[in-house]
Amino acid sequence: MNRTPLIAGNWKMYKTVGDAERYIQALLPRVAGLEGVEIAIATPYTALAAMVDSTRGSRVGVYAQNMHEAAEGAFTGEISAPMLVELDVAGVVIGHSERRQYFAENDRAVSLKVAAALQAGLLPILCVGETEEERLAGDTERKLRHQVQEGLEHTPPERIAEVAIAYEPIWAIGTGRVATPDQAQEAASFVRALVGALRAGVDDQVRVLYGGSVNAANAAELLALPDVDGALVGGASLDAESFAAIAAAARERTR
Ligand code: PGA
């Protein structure tokens, strides 16, 4: 197994361009030595161009938090994959539970976005995860099966390995209630098996991340799990020091 760990920060709707510039100057020296760890930060659209400039030549990739599935069109307020690629954005978070919940993003749109991102040359992070109700009802696997299969439906099988899949239990996002290592490992391994069922051998290649209340104190334990190849980090990615500490915890995985 030689899957490069991916530590991705998701700033959500936080930080002006000025905030982003101060943050990146604090982050870069702290992560410069982390060989073997891929680091990404998904910023608001408004900070993308400045962040791409400031991170050039570093190990930090700049990601978007969403995109439209069409290359262009009459879709007021939307941004397309070619527009992100033109800025040298490296990847994009797709189907985050906040997009699904507050902006009515459905599985079909998510699936088209994943395929369009890949086609344009962006690395997609596809987010999946169950609500607390679904977990309590024993429906976690059913939900994950549905979201993984639907989310990858339009992706050509030979490109599935390029998609990173973030398992993010919705009850753990922004709540401080992190999944237990057993819960995270069980779900990540299930997601990996689902991908393997879509195309043999891809289960060994695809990166599965955990997301939901990851912080500098719990990251090492989660990142040591055999099927967790990285983390999608919200709140704790807003502070350069704590985000760097999480990335440093992933370094252990590469040893
Ligand atoms: P959190 O968010 O780390 O603040 O729980 C994770 C996410 O939304 O991706």
Boundaries of every domain in the chain:
6-253
Model confidence at 255: pLDDT above 70: no
- The pTM of the full predicted model, rounded to 2 decimals, is 0.97
Residue whose CA lies nearest to ligand 1 atom number 2: 234
pLDDT at position 1 is 59
pLDDT at position 164 is 98
The C-alpha atoms of residue 144 and residue 150 are separated, in whole angstroms, by: 10
What CATH fold (topology level) applies to the domain 6-253?
A: TIM Barrel (3.20.20)
Task: Determine the average pLDDT of the residues in 45-59.
Answer: 97
User: What does the DSSP assignment read for 153-212?
Assistant: TTS-GGGGGG-EEEE--GGGTTTS-PPPHHHHHHHHHHHHHHHHHHSTTGGGTSEEEEES
Model confidence at 224: pLDDT above 90: yes
pLDDT at position 252 is 82
Percent of the chain with pLDDT over 90: 98
Tokens 């395929």 correspond to 115
Task: Determine the average pLDDT of the residues in 152-181.
Answer: 97
Q: What is the DSSP letter of 71?
A: S
Which ligand 1 atom sits nearest the alpha carbon of residue 98? 8
Catalytic annotation present for 168: yes
pLDDT at position 2 is 81
pLDDT at position 253 is 78
Tokens describing residue 26: 């604090």
Mutation pick for ligand 1 pocket among 92, 214, 222, 239 (CB with most ligand atoms within 8 Å): 214
For the chain, what is the mean pLDDT?
97
Model confidence at 203: pLDDT above 80: yes
9 pocket-lining for ligand 1 (C-beta < 6 Å): no
